[in-house]
Every structure is written in structure tokens, then in C-alpha cells.
Structure 1
Amino acid sequence: MAATFLPAFVAIIAIFSIFLSPRAKSDGAFFKGLSPDGRQPGLITLIFSQVTTWIFARSLMNAAILGYYYGLWGALAYAAYYLSFLTGAAIIDSLRFRHGCDSVQEFLRLRFGGAGASCYNLVIAIRLVSEVFANLLVIGILFGADGSHAYVIAILGFSAITLLYSTLGGLHASLRTDVFQMGVFLVVLAVLIAIALTADDFSFATLLFKPFVIDDPGPILLAVALLQVWSYPMHDPVMMDRGFLADRKTTRRSFIHAAWISSLCITLFGCLGVFAGAQALQGEDMNAALTRLLGETPMLIFSAALVVSAMSTLDSTLASSAKLAAVDMRLLRPTLANGRIAMAVFMLAGLLCVFFGSKDLFAAVAVSGTASMYLTPVVFFSLWRDWRDVPLWSYLTSFCVAVGGAALYFTESSGYSNLIEPLVGVSHKYSKLLLISLIVMTVGCAAFWMGARFPFRSSRTPQPVLE
């Protein structure tokens, strides 16, 4: 049944997505999500698009895995990242209506010159490639073992289908398909939760099988999320792009509703992992435990939820990739043809990462989130407090420390280095991540404070660039 259900399900979702993707005939539709008659997206479209593009396959899998190993606190730790919608709403509102900017790049270019925008573009380009990679990786895992023919064919076929309908309509097509895909996801999730609640071995007491111990990995990861949530939305171009599509009231409401809907969905999905972890036999992995507890059919529904979320995230990621290359970075002229070329390039980069890169799903989140923390002092001081005398060296210091911290966490968590434990006695990778995050945030904020209070004459903030 599994051999036929998932391919058929993918085919149905793909057919409907292609049907809902009208060919873009203007730059406004392709890059700004405008309808053929020039209308901006409405509230429901924005909410569903925000939620479904952030509840991606990697997130669902991560939430379930963290719940399996670390209990409810692991699931809640991952759900805490979805508070980014609230901080993201404040960031967007300040960018658009206080500072009058049309993008994050414009704000950074005004405050820190071309170097400021270039650092940001580098971080979000890596972020977009990691999104393509991670969601394709989940699809491959669903269809077969790593490196198997089914694994390779599933990834290549899924990427081709998603690229096809994404290049047809750009951001407008992504918004339309997001609404459809979110509707399907909600139905699938509701069915899956109902099955879990009626399972013989389920009880609400099982969700608390891991007690709260402050130095356990779950609570530690929750603390990491609460540190990274201030900057995390600003480095996510998919979220930021959707903050510039509608009027102020609609945008603000869409972010607020997306926050509680996505947090609830992620927590519920994470609880499936908690349920499996509480009932798991020795040596049993999460999928095996869930299959034993729920049965084959619910696990197919579990896989279907991952397929829908992967497709909805990929098309949005490709739309943001086109906008990044052609509009924000200005590497190409903002034409429909160039936008489609950019999508193909980012898809290819993601495929290369799948077949030649790391297979650790949460590592991509942690590395990306740590690198994004260079933006924390930008948000606190430049954006919200409107400090205009922060010099470029402060910004570059924050950037270098954050990127260095992200690289250090990657090498530590992957086993390539062990520098932190001999120095401070911290051994678990999430404890190391918390320490790195604290250092990155402290150094970045200190650099901004010192730069504003004691600026070096040779590195003043550049004047706005007139173009």
C-alpha cells in the first residue's frame, strides 16, 4: 500500500498545484505576488501562506524527533521558534512604517552601506539553499533508504515537479498553492491527531514522561530558541517577503494569527513524537515505535503531512530565491526569465547539498539560527531604538562572531572538533549551542553599544547610498 499511496498522493497534490499556478505575465505577479488585476493578497491567503511555508517538512520531522528524545520540552522548544512571527511582525512594522524601507536590504544598505547588505545576502542565500536541501532530504527519506534508487528518484521527481509549477507563476502561484496545501495539511493533521488520541496506549500522562530538569537537553534547547527568536525571522526571506505584500493592518493580523496557528500545529505534531518516545521499546526508533502504536495507515498519513509541507515550503523558497537574486541582490535584471533561472540555480544547489552534504536536519536549523544572531543588535539598536551612529565595524564584528559561532557549532555537533568541552566542561551539543548563542548575542550587542558610544573616526557608518 505504501508503495502506491505516497506516489499517488504526490501526483494529486502536484496536479492541483499546477492547476492553481497561472502563468505569470508581469513582474508584479512573479516577484510581488500581485493578482493578474494588480490586487494584493488578502488576510486568509497571507495567514495560510505564512503558516504552511514555516511548517515545513524539516520542522515537522524535527519537532517529532525532539519530542521522541526529549519529551514535551523538546517539542515545546521547537515550537518556541514560531514566536518568530511575533518578533517578525514588529520587525516588519518598523522597517515599513517607521523607517520607510521596502526590504531588509534597503535598511541595511542605508545604515551600513553595501557591506551591510552583502553580509545579509550571504546569510539568507545559505538559508534558502538549506531550505531546499532539508525538504528534499525529508522526501527522500520517506520513499527509501539513503542512496537507494527510490530515494534518488523521489528527490529528483519531487524537485522537478515543484520547480515546474513554481517557475510558472512565481510568488503569486506560491500564494495560491499555499492556501490549497494548507487546507490539505490541516485535514491530514486533524485525522492523524484523532487517530493518536484514540490509540489504546495513549494517555495525556504519557506526554509528561520526561520531567522538567533545567539542565536537560529539552529545556536547554528551549532557552536557545528564546535567544534566537529575536533575529531568526529577519534572516528568513520567505517570512520577510510576505511582510511587504499587503497593507499594515492585514500584515500585522496575518503575523499574529500565523504565530498561534503554527505553534499549535508544531506542538501537536511534536506530541506524536513524545507519545512514541514514552512507549518506545529499547533500541526502537521513532518511526518504528509510531508504526507499532498507530498502525501502517496512520503512518502513511504522517508521511502525507510531510509531503504537503515540503511542497508548500519549496515553492515559496524558490519564489524568494528569485526575488533575492533579481530584485534584492540585483545580480540579474528583474525579468520573468531571470527569475526562473534563479529558481533553477537554487534548486540545483539544494540537490547538490542533498547528495553530497550532511544529513543532520536540526544542524541546519541550529547553524542558520546561530548565524542569524548577528542581526540581534541590528534589531535591538538600529531598527527598534533607531541608533543612527553605529559604525560599520560594530556590524562586521557581530557578523563575524555569529558566523564563527555557527561554524563552531557545526564542527562540534558533527564530531569534527571538541574545543568547548575541555575549556568549560560542557559536553552535550545543545548545551554548547546555548553557550555559543549567549556569547554571540553578548559580543554583538556590546560591539553595537561600544561603537555608538566610542566610534572610531575611520569607520563611521556610511552615508545612505543614492541609486
Structure 2
Amino acid sequence: MEITLIIAVATVAIFSVFISPKAKDSGAFFKGLSPEGKAPGLLLLTFSQVTTWIFARSLLNAAILGFYYGVWGTLAYAAYYLSFLTGAKIIDSVRFQHGFDSIQAFLIDRFGRWGTRCYNFVIGVRLVSEVFANILVIGILFGVAGGTAYTTAVALFAVVTLVYSMLGGLHASLRTDLFQMLLFLLLLGALTVLVLATGQLTSAAIMFKSFAINDPGPILILVALLQIWSYPMHDPVMMDRGFIADRETTRKSFYHAAWISFVCIMLFGSFGIIAGANAIDGEVMNATLMRILGETPMLLFNITLVISAMSTLDSTLSSASKLVAVDMRWIEPSVVNGRITMAVFVLLGLLLVFSGNQDLFSAVAVSGTASMYLAPVVFFSLWGRRTDIPLWSYLSCFFISLAGAALYFTESAGHTQFLGESHKYTKLLGISISVLLSGCLLFWVGMLSQKHQPALRETAI
């Protein structure tokens, strides 16, 4: 099966290189424009949104959460895809109500340079974590960490994806996203049919875990519903695709991406659920699936993960180059500099992969918690149209969110036990609620303090 998987990956990679047009200017490389200067249409933009958010880590997380926590675990992960709905509202407000051409432009208008410095730091960490996570999935599929197969697969996957990403930047990413999404849907459909044919995908298997509000699955659903208000704003891949087409196309692409992604995640997660329903004590998910489904469905399962990893990695690299060259202006926004930036991010991702960290969901939870400093920005400054929020409110929210993310990381890894012996997802819910409420309180207090300042000055005079 490993040889077949390698051949399938090589075929997809070669075809992706073949259909990647070489970018001749920064408009194609950083803005995704065609050689004629045209923005992508609805189908291309929708499929690009979906395939860049249904990445390999997402599919594997959805299946693993289903394996351990049943349908409630998979539903919790699928709930994060409601971010497309809140993301659509965020983009529409920034672009068409406030008139800004990027999230950074909006933040610098409201909070000055520190507004963008904090934001760029968070999304920079997010991009590096995405490179790491999608390369890591490939290693997990091909072998044990440190082994020859693991190292070779990781290195080749990273290099091949980097090559075709460097050719055309965002425009190449959009083109390959369409091809990879169509292939992904075909494979997912075939996999679903094969699983149904085995008779394992039954209502009894899907509901093998009953609902209990204090179980990890339902708790994660609550966490997702708290984090989706800020999660899309800190995802540069999603946000970048919100600024390249007209208003109607952009809005529809987000709405369609929401339901398509939700369905795909639930379908793929259901394979983990049936594995959980049939697992023997001590048996891991992949071993259970191989036992109950057989070799062919598992081959499709793994190929689907590889394609989703490839489609997400090229988009992540495109957003990374745009962040450094266009948004942060650290370097001249040229095609050459964009390619160099992509190579640097791949190297950073590889360093994390070989550092030994294997926890895929921790990256989601940590970045999602860190992003929650943006929730008050969305509620007060963006949708509430408040222009009187002081910088200290913004910075306080930022540092509280980072502290919350760091606390969850140390608690979930077992380095600390400040929050007691409760399950790590229960701790994550408590941290998320605390960060969200304290952030909104800080913005509200800051808004009130600004209202009273003129009166104080007049009294002094």
C-alpha cells in the first residue's frame, strides 16, 4: 500500500506543478490575479476556500476526535467551519462598510502600529503552525518519527509543494486548489461508498457515545462556538481570499464554503467514529480502520489526507509571502522575495516537525485561544463602529489572550496543573470564557474612559 500511496502522491504533485502558471508580476503572485488581471470566479474562489480550510490536520483531527468522543467530537471540529459565516461578515464590514483593503489597514487606523504588530505576530505563528501541521501529517502516514521513510516523505513532500508554490504564488495556489478540491471530492465520495458497502456506517455506530454536557465532545462544541467570532480574522489564508473578488462573489464563496466544509468534515470524521465504535482496548484508530474496512478504503483515506495537506500548504506559503512582503513590508514585494519567504517558512515548519512535537489539535487550540483577543475588536471596533477604544484596551486583550494560550499549552502538555485535575478540554473552555469576557470588559471600560476624558479636561480648564 505504501508504494501505491507514493505513486499517487507523486502523480498529484507532478500534475500540480504542470498546471501551476509561472507568475510574471506581483499582481499574480500576491493578489491571485490571472495574467489578464482578472479576479477568480465563484466556483474557483469557493473551492479554494474549502480546500485550504479542509487541510490534512483538520481531517485527521475530525477523525481522531470522532474516534475518542463519538459524533460530538467530530461535530465540535465541524463547528469551527461556521467561521466561514462570521468571516464573511468580517470581510464585508472591513472592505465594503469601513472601506479598507486589508485587516492590517483597518487595525492601524484604529490602534496604530501596535495594532498591526500584535496581529502580524499572531498570524505569523498561525502560518508557521500550519506549515508544521500539514508536513507532520505526511510523516505520520509514511512511518515512525525518526525513521528513514518518515524523514524522506516529509522532506520530499515539503520540497515538491514548495517548488510549485514558488512558481506562481497565490494565482498558482488558486489554480491547483480547484484541481485538488475536485480530486478530494471524488476520493471522499468513493471512500464513503466503500465504507457504506461494508455496512459499518450505521446509526448505532455513529451514536456509540451518548450525549453528556460535561464530556469532552460537547465541551469542545462550546469552545468552538466561542472561538469562531475571532478565529477567521486571525487566519490569513481565509482573509486573503476575501479581498480579491467583488462583493457578491466573495460573500457567496464564504457561504457555500461553510456548508461544503461542514459536510466534508462530518463525512470524514464519521470514519473515525465507526473506528471508535469498533475499537479493541488499546487499539489505535488506523489499525481499527484497517481491520474493519480493508486495504483499499484505507489507501483512499491516506491519499485524501495527502491531497488536503498539499492543497493547504501551497496556500499557506502564498499567504506567508504576502504577509512578509505586502502586509508587514519587511521586504520589497517582488516575486523573488516572495519565493525566498516561502522557502524560509518551509524550513521553520520542518524544524518544528523534527523537534518531536506530535500533537495536532494543540496547534488549533493554542492559536484559537490567542486569536480571541480579536473578538472585542470585531464586536466593538468593527461591527460596533467604535473609534474611541484606547490602545491600552487592545494591548491588554492581546497579552491576556497570549497568556491564556500559553496556559492551555502548558496544562494540556502536563507541564503545569494550575487548573486542577479536570480534562484538558474543560480547562480550554474555562480559559476561553475568561479570555473572551475579560477582553470585552477591557474594551467596554476603555470606551467609557474615553467618554469621560473631554469632561475632565473641561473641568480642569
Report the TM-score, using the length of structure 2 for normalisation. 0.97
In the alignment, the residues of structure 2 paired with residue 235 and residue 305 of structure 1 have an alpha-carbon distance, to the nearest angstrom, of: 26
Q: What's the counterpart of residue 432 of structure 2?
A: 437
Residues 132-211 of structure 1: matches in 2 within 5 Å? Answer: 132-211=131-210
Which amino acid in the other structure matches residue 435 of structure 2?
V
Task: Give secondary structure in 2 for the equivalent of 1:454.
Answer: helix
Asked whether 1:392 is paired with 2:387, we answer no
Q: 1:158 to 1:380 in 2, by over 3 A?
A: same
Q: 1:457 to 1:261 in 2, by over 3 A?
A: same
Which amino acid in the other structure matches residue 365 of structure 1?
V
Counterpart among 431, 437, 448 of residue 453 in structure 1: 448
Q: What's the counterpart of residue 248 of structure 1?
A: 247
In the alignment, the residues of structure 2 paired with residue 35 and residue 201 of structure 1 have an alpha-carbon distance, to the nearest angstrom, of: 46
Q: What's the counterpart of residue 417 of structure 1?
A: 416
In the alignment, the residues of structure 1 paired with residue 451 and residue 331 of structure 2 have an alpha-carbon distance, to the nearest angstrom, of: 36
TM-fit CA distance, 1:246: 0.2
Residues 282-361 of structure 1: matches in 2 within 5 Å? Answer: 282-361=281-360
Q: What's the counterpart of residue 105 of structure 2?
A: 106
Which amino acid in the other structure matches residue 345 of structure 1?
V
In the alignment, the residues of structure 2 paired with residue 132 and residue 277 of structure 1 have an alpha-carbon distance, to the nearest angstrom, of: 29
Which amino acid in the other structure matches residue 166 of structure 1?
S
Q: What's the counterpart of residue 67 of structure 1?
A: 66
In the alignment, the residues of structure 2 paired with residue 23 and residue 31 of structure 1 have an alpha-carbon distance, to the nearest angstrom, of: 13
In the alignment, the residues of structure 1 paired with residue 426 and residue 281 of structure 2 have an alpha-carbon distance, to the nearest angstrom, of: 25
In the alignment, the residues of structure 1 paired with residue 162 and residue 87 of structure 2 have an alpha-carbon distance, to the nearest angstrom, of: 28
In the alignment, the residues of structure 2 paired with residue 16 and residue 457 of structure 1 have an alpha-carbon distance, to the nearest angstrom, of: 63
Superposition misfits of 4+ residues, deviation over 6 angstroms: none
In the alignment, the residues of structure 1 paired with residue 367 and residue 201 of structure 2 have an alpha-carbon distance, to the nearest angstrom, of: 35
In the alignment, the residues of structure 1 paired with residue 39 and residue 130 of structure 2 have an alpha-carbon distance, to the nearest angstrom, of: 26
TM-fit CA distance, 1:456: 9.7
In the alignment, the residues of structure 2 paired with residue 234 and residue 271 of structure 1 have an alpha-carbon distance, to the nearest angstrom, of: 29
In the alignment, the residues of structure 2 paired with residue 103 and residue 169 of structure 1 have an alpha-carbon distance, to the nearest angstrom, of: 22
RMSD between aligned residues: 1.1
TM-fit CA distance, 1:201: 3.6
Task: Give secondary structure in 2 for the equivalent of 1:23.
Answer: coil
TM-fit CA distance, 1:357: 4.8
TM-fit CA distance, 1:297: 1.4
In the alignment, the residues of structure 1 paired with residue 365 and residue 382 of structure 2 have an alpha-carbon distance, to the nearest angstrom, of: 24
In the alignment, the residues of structure 1 paired with residue 303 and residue 2 of structure 2 have an alpha-carbon distance, to the nearest angstrom, of: 13
Q: What's the counterpart of residue 462 of structure 1?
A: none
TM-fit CA distance, 1:283: 1.1
Which amino acid in the other structure matches residue 211 of structure 1?
S
In the alignment, the residues of structure 1 paired with residue 279 and residue 140 of structure 2 have an alpha-carbon distance, to the nearest angstrom, of: 21
Which amino acid in the other structure matches residue 433 of structure 2?
L
Deviations 1:199-256 (A, max 9, x none): 1444222100101100000000000000000000000000000000100000000000
Deviations 1:107-166 (A, max 9, x none): 000000000100000000000000000000000010111110100010000000000000
In the alignment, the residues of structure 2 paired with residue 312 and residue 203 of structure 1 have an alpha-carbon distance, to the nearest angstrom, of: 31
TM-fit CA distance, 1:4: 1.1
In the alignment, structure 2 segments of 5+ residues that lack a partner are: 454-461
TM-fit CA distance, 1:457: 9.4
Which amino acid in the other structure matches residue 302 of structure 1?
F
In the alignment, the residues of structure 1 paired with residue 58 and residue 379 of structure 2 have an alpha-carbon distance, to the nearest angstrom, of: 27
Q: 1:337 to 1:457 in 2, by over 3 A?
A: farther
In the alignment, the residues of structure 1 paired with residue 278 and residue 194 of structure 2 have an alpha-carbon distance, to the nearest angstrom, of: 16
Q: What's the counterpart of residue 456 of structure 2?
A: none
Aligned residues: 453
Q: What's the counterpart of residue 122 of structure 1?
A: 121
In the alignment, the residues of structure 1 paired with residue 392 and residue 64 of structure 2 have an alpha-carbon distance, to the nearest angstrom, of: 40
Task: Give secondary structure in 1 for the equivalent of 2:100.
Answer: coil
In the alignment, the residues of structure 1 paired with residue 46 and residue 315 of structure 2 have an alpha-carbon distance, to the nearest angstrom, of: 14
Task: Give secondary structure in 1 for the equivalent of 2:24.
Answer: coil
In the alignment, structure 1 segments of 5+ residues that lack a partner are: 459-467
Task: Give secondary structure in 2 for the equivalent of 1:198.
Answer: helix
Task: Give secondary structure in 2 for the equivalent of 1:36.
Answer: coil
Which amino acid in the other structure matches residue 384 of structure 2?
R
